[in-house]
């Protein structure tokens, strides 16, 4: 390892410490709230700031790509076509700030207290995007960047990445890379840097159970026709068994078994079940028999009612048989489960449960598969090495229960794996008042990323993409 | 039977045919909508009209009794303390008229087409109240009224009889009678005059299942805590078995078995199950195994979800575990079931079903018992004779699945049975646009009531009250 070169790079980062603080504060002062049309100009201003900053860092090719919504900032630095190419993704838009009165400091007046930076977007995701910029700059100003970098920064992540997939579809050649790196996730906990190698997918549907043509008087008709709310309750109740397993036939067929290594890794994490329970407010933890809490949320599929409604839900009493009953349901999927197949199975099972005394309608929603990058993948291992070099400790291998749709797009469209290398902390109030970012992790995060480029530059594995079903 | 005297009474009614049409139209022109404060004066005007009309009929003691809401009209004619005393109940307030654009003729511009009178309140209940007035008048103007009559007409029936029970409680001596007669119900069908001898009661409660302290992200937490919507669905599903029976232990303990005579009576009614099904719009009829549809709605208790809600019920998708899930439940009760005992049983059963992974809260509502007046009760038999005399056919013995709280009050406070002798038809659009009343039934109804007074005047049974639990 050319330790001399990385030392120079890290020294550059340290020497520009004050400048980077000031610039990050500038970036965070721009209220780039993508959800509010009144901030459309601000979002554009943030894109321009970021594009200029990439150019200043030494990235030769930078463009602001307009979309029907907010722009995409694309940047590219190719040092040697034979070196690995990394696609760096992030977003420069932020969440709205309501309720404003709960912020101790105004959300767009960044304030540093005890080395913690308070501002909307500090950890999600401007702070982490800016880490990527300065890590590249440190290499470009001091030596030879050991990898090729492509930057893809969007301004619509907080509103569902409306135009991103189309952009990726239509710019496949330009975006070609060996892997993607995203810094938009948290570490496992303070002091526990982590590589996240798996995400759950999603499959959603809505059930509509319809009975009479209108609400019926429960005195005049009660006892003579099926109550759609009862039928819906029976259907929902039939979807799980007594041990928390989903009863839909075939639901678990394609689920990857949990390896002994993963179980050991998870069990070794500093995770306190009681603390976790308290954070939810639930009187008890509950889930599929045979799995720990982390295993349940990271590696097991779920089927959850997100909402349901029937009949009279106002104040007081209305003695009716509801005309209809409805439920929104979504499944969290794990790698190798095909969302369409799962939707078919759930659809079929619900149809089979439904008696002929009501009419059933199911609206199938969209689905995304879960993703996982193998632990022994060169990209995963490179991230582990980078963390060890900077933190002097082993990275935690974690997964996440949620979904990041762009990871699925990178896999399915670009056929590349993604490494999730985030430096926020789980309790830094993303999407909430008083969002903040521990600057210690900002500094170490930039160092880790710079180190990752060095390690990847020495790697010439070209394995397949992230494991995604099918 | 003094057939001469009743003939004179019936002739009087026929001779005043035109006057009665005109007066009924006057009464119906007053928009006495009790629910709308803008019509408060109109409600009072209707009370005044009715009080004056009772006086004009020859009722010597008439009072308008103010309440904190709309007034009660009380009238009394005591011909002989040794004769039976009948308490006649009705209401002169009407339902709102929305949606107004669905009325063919304006609701308060009564219009007669093909001997059908269209107006709000025509059948529910001003037309039937007015029948009671003219039946008394025909006796008072031509001979000696064979019973003592007390009239209790309220102006708040359509808003829940807010002040009626208090009035009855505080005027027990004044209201003392041998039986009550109410004309506020339909016949079984056109051409099928009926005596309704049973009503169901009601017991209501609300269930609240609470899990986490707020909605949780279903990716981050899904699989690790109990979903309150699932728990509520399981509770609701557990309340009925596969054959439509309520599973709550003890629920049927106090239910009166259906007598062979009742089963035969119901089976003999001109009831078309398919026509009934079509009127509901449900794809199939469904109910407790072992009972016909009429038996189910008239003589069997039910437990129905009137409304339920949990989580996100707006448009689109929100992948959450709901913080809580809620259901409004009401039971229709049959005679001898004690509402408090039923609420205790349901409460206990639901509590037993609820797992410790959520918190459960149950709000007990109010309850009213069901009521039944025996078929061989002198009041029931007198009504049957009156119908036979006027319609030249046997009355149908029917029950109703709904509740009429004043019947319970009459039983519990005044200890008297009630005969429900109504002359509307089930499809005359009570509470809906184009409410109407077949004037043929108005005429025959008044005759039947006049005849009933004659028959009761010859009766000197003094049996107990309506059968009510306990």
The CATH number for B224's domain is 3.30.70.360
Range A126-152 average pLDDT: 97
Range A246-275 average pLDDT: 94
In a domain, B182, yes or no: yes
Same structural domain for residues B152 and B186? Answer: yes
Decide if A238 touches B, using CB distance below 8 A: yes
At residue B3, the pLDDT reads: 58
At residue B469, the pLDDT reads: 35
What backbone torsions phi and psi does residue B436 show, to the nearest 5 degrees?
-150, 170
Decide if B292 touches A, using CB distance below 8 A: no
In a domain, B260, yes or no: no
Best of B224, B289, B364 to substitute, by most chain A Cβ atoms within 10 angstroms, is B224
Query: Residue B258 pLDDT > 80, yes or no?
Result: yes
> Taking CB atoms and an 8 Å cutoff, what residues of chain A touch B204?
317, 319
Q: Tell me the residues of chain B between 196 and 215 that have a Cβ less than 8 Å away from chain A.
A: 200, 202, 204, 211-214
Per the CB < 8 Å rule, is B223 touching A325? no
Last residue of a domain, one of A353, A368, A383: A368
Same structural domain for residues A50 and A61? Answer: yes
At residue B460, the pLDDT reads: 59
At residue A470, the pLDDT reads: 32
Helix (H, G, I), strand (E, B) or coil at B134: helix
> Taking CB atoms and an 8 Å cutoff, what residues of chain B touch A213?
280-281
At residue A464, the pLDDT reads: 42
**Bigger pLDDT: B373 vs A27:** A27
Considering chain A, what percentage of its residues have pLDDT values greater than 90? Answer: 87
Query: Residue A207 pLDDT > 90, yes or no?
Result: yes
Per the CB < 8 Å rule, is A240 touching B222? no
Work out the pLDDT band at A466, boundaries 50, 70, 90: very low
DSSP structure class, residue A246 = B
Residues B434 and A363: their CA atoms lie apart, in Å, by 38
In a domain, B281, yes or no: no
**Closest to B154 measured CA to CA, from B278, B232, B50:** B50
In a domain, B294, yes or no: no
Per the CB < 8 Å rule, is A297 touching B224? yes
Same structural domain for residues A242 and A381? Answer: no
Nearest CB to A286 within list B200, B226, B300: B226
Residues A13 and B383: their CA atoms lie apart, in Å, by 100
Same structural domain for residues B118 and B224? Answer: no
Same structural domain for residues A39 and A174? Answer: yes
Residues B373 and B407: their CA atoms lie apart, in Å, by 11
Residues A408 and A404: their CA atoms lie apart, in Å, by 7
Last residue of a domain, one of B367, B393, B423: B367
In a domain, A416, yes or no: yes
Return the structure tokens found at B332: 């229709």
Best of B271, B274, B308, B318 to substitute, by most chain A Cβ atoms within 10 angstroms, is B308
Same structural domain for residues B35 and B24? Answer: yes
Range B377-406 average pLDDT: 94
Q: pLDDT tens digits, residue range A2-61?
A: 557 899 999 999 999 999 999 999 999 999 999 999 999 999 999 999 999 999 999 999
Residue B323 to chain A, least CA–CA distance (Å): 9
Range B226-237 average pLDDT: 98
Decide if A305 touches B, using CB distance below 8 A: yes
Per the CB < 8 Å rule, is A308 touching B281? no
Q: Tell me the residues of chain B between 130 and 149 that have a Cβ less than 8 Å away from chain A.
A: none
Residues A383 and A379: their CA atoms lie apart, in Å, by 6
Residues A31 and A213: their CA atoms lie apart, in Å, by 50
Q: Hunting for tokens 């003691």 — which residue is that?
A: B61
Residues B62 and B376: their CA atoms lie apart, in Å, by 34
**Closest to B193 measured CA to CA, from B389, B14, B422:** B422
Residues B400 and B402: their CA atoms lie apart, in Å, by 6
Decide if A276 touches B, using CB distance below 8 A: yes
Range B240-264 average pLDDT: 95
Query: Residue B150 pLDDT > 70, yes or no?
Result: yes
Which range of residues forms the domain containing residue A218?
201-255+301-368
User: A55 vs A43, A73, A133, A140, A171, CA distance in Å?
Assistant: 19, 11, 10, 11, 21
In a domain, B285, yes or no: no
In a domain, A17, yes or no: yes
Query: Is the backbone peptide bond immediately before A13 cis, with ω within 30 degrees of 0?
Result: no
Interface size A-B, in CB pairs within 8 Å, comes to: 276
Nearest CB to A310 within list B218, B293, B307: B307
Cα atoms in the Cβ-side hemisphere of radius 13 Å centred on A439: 18
Range A92-104 average pLDDT: 93
Count Cβ atoms below 10 Å from residue A44 Cβ, excluding itself.
Answer: 17
Same structural domain for residues B194 and B333? Answer: no
Residues B445 and B456: their CA atoms lie apart, in Å, by 16
Best of A225, A400, A407 to substitute, by most chain B Cβ atoms within 10 angstroms, is A225
Work out the pLDDT band at A66, boundaries 50, 70, 90: very high
> Taking CB atoms and an 8 Å cutoff, what residues of chain A touch B400?
219-220
Residues A326 and B105: their CA atoms lie apart, in Å, by 38
Same structural domain for residues A357 and A402? Answer: no
> Which of A170-174, A360-364, B183-187 shows the lowest mean pLDDT across its residues?
B183-187
Q: Where are the beta strands (DSSP E) in A82-185?
A: 85-91, 111-113, 116-118, 148-154, 179-182
Return the structure tokens found at B404: 């009429």
Nearest CB to A282 within list B212, B223, B401: B212
CATH code at position A15: 3.40.630.10
Query: Residue B146 pLDDT > 70, yes or no?
Result: yes
Work out the pLDDT band at B315, boundaries 50, 70, 90: confident
Per the CB < 8 Å rule, is B297 touching A223? yes
Residues making up chain B, counted from first to last: 470
CA quadruple B290, B292, B295, B296: dihedral positive or negative? positive
Q: Give the pairing of strands A320-321 and A216-217.
A: antiparallel
At residue A460, the pLDDT reads: 59
Query: Residue A268 pLDDT > 50, yes or no?
Result: yes
- What is the DSSP track for B178-194? SEEEE--SB-SBTTB-E
User: A422 vs A441, A451, B155, B218, CA distance in Å?
Assistant: 9, 14, 70, 21
Residues A266 and A259: their CA atoms lie apart, in Å, by 11
Same structural domain for residues A178 and A150? Answer: yes
Helix (H) or strand (E) holding A136: helix A126-142
Residues B354 and B360: their CA atoms lie apart, in Å, by 7
> Taking CB atoms and an 8 Å cutoff, what residues of chain B touch A320?
306-307
Q: pLDDT tens digits, residue range A357-368?
A: 999 999 998 889
Range B186-192 average pLDDT: 93
Best of A221, A240, A325, A334 to substitute, by most chain B Cβ atoms within 10 angstroms, is A221
Residues A165 and A147: their CA atoms lie apart, in Å, by 25
Last residue of a domain, one of A368, A393, A408: A368
Return the structure tokens found at A166: 């189309």
- How many domains would you assign to chain B? 2
In this structure, are residues A32 and A124 in contact, taking their beta carbons and an 8 Å threshold? no
Return the structure tokens found at A365: 């929603």
Closest-CA residue of chain B to A316: B328
* ipTM (interface predicted TM): 0.88
Helix (H, G, I), strand (E, B) or coil at B9: helix
Q: Give the pairing of strands B148-154 and B72-77.
A: antiparallel
In a domain, B133, yes or no: yes
User: A260 vs A273, A300, A370, A466, CA distance in Å?
Assistant: 21, 15, 20, 21
Q: Phi-psi bin for B190: left (phi > 0), alpha (psi -120 to 50), beta?
A: beta
The mean pLDDT value of chain B amounts to: 94
Same structural domain for residues B351 and B459? Answer: no
Return the structure tokens found at B251: 């629920």
Same structural domain for residues A169 and A242? Answer: no
In this structure, are residues B129 and B50 in contact, taking their beta carbons and an 8 Å threshold? yes
Decide if A290 touches B, using CB distance below 8 A: no
Same structural domain for residues B23 and B107? Answer: yes
Alpha helices in A392-438 (DSSP H): 405-409
Range B361-365 average pLDDT: 94
């Amino acid at each position: 390892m050319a330790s001399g070169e990385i030392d120079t790079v890290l020294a550059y980062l340290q020497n520009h410490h004050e400048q980077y603080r000031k610039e990050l504060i500038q970036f965070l002062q721009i209220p780039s709230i993508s959800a509010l049309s009144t901030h459309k100009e601000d979002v554009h201003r943030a894109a321009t700031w970021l594009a200029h900053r990439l150019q200043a860092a030494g990235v030769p090719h930078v463009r602001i790509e307009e979309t029907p919504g907010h722009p995409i900032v694309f940047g590219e630095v190719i040092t040697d076509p034979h070196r690995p190419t990394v696609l760096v993704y992030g977003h420069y838009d932020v969440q709205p700030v309501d309720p404003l009165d709960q912020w101790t400091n105004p959300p767009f007046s960044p304030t540093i207290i005890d080395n913690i930076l308070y501002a909307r977007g500090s950890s999600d995701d401007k702070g982490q995007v800016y880490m990527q910029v300065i890590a590249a700059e440190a290499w470009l100003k001091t030596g030879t960047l050991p990898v090729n970098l492509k930057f893809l920064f969007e301004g619509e992540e907080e509103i569902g990445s409306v135009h991103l997939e189309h952009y990726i579809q239509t710019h496949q050649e330009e975006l070609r890379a060996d892997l993607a790196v995203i810094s938009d996730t948290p570490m496992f906990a303070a002091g526990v840097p982590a590589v996240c190698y798996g995400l759950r997918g999603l499959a959603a549907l809505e059930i509509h159970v319809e009975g009479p043509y209108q609400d019926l008087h429960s005195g005049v008709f009660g006892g003579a026709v099926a109550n759609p709310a009862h039928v819906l309750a029976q259907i929902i109740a039939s979807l799980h068994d007594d041990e928390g397993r989903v009863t839909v036939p075939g639901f678990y067929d394609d689920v990857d078994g949990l390896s002994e290594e993963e179980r050991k890794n998870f069990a070794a994490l500093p995770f306190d079940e009681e603390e976790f329970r308290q954070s939810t407010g639930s009187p008890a933890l509950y889930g599929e028999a045979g799995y720990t809490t982390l295993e349940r949320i990271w590696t097991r599929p779920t089927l959850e009612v997100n909402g349901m409604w029937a009949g009279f839900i106002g104040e007081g009493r209305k003695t009716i048989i509801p005309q209809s009953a409805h439920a929104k349901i979504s499944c969290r999927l794990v790698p190798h489960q095909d969302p369409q197949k799962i939707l078919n199975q759930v659809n079929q099972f619900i149809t089979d449960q439904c008696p002929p005394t009501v009419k059933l309608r199911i609206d199938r929603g969209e689905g995304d598969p879960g993703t996982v990058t193998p632990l022994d993948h060169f990209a995963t291992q490179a991230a582990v090495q980078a963390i060890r070099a900077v933190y002097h400790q082993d990275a935690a291998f974690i997964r996440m229960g949620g979904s990041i749709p762009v990871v699925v797009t990178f896999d399915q469209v670009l056929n590349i794996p993604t490494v999730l290398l985030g430096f926020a902390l789980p309790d830094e109030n993303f999407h909430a008042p008083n969002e903040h970012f521990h600057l210690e992790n900002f500094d170490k995060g930039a160092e880790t990323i710079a180190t990752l480029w060095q390690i990847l530059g020495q790697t010439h594995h070209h394995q397949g993409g992230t494991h995604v079903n099918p």
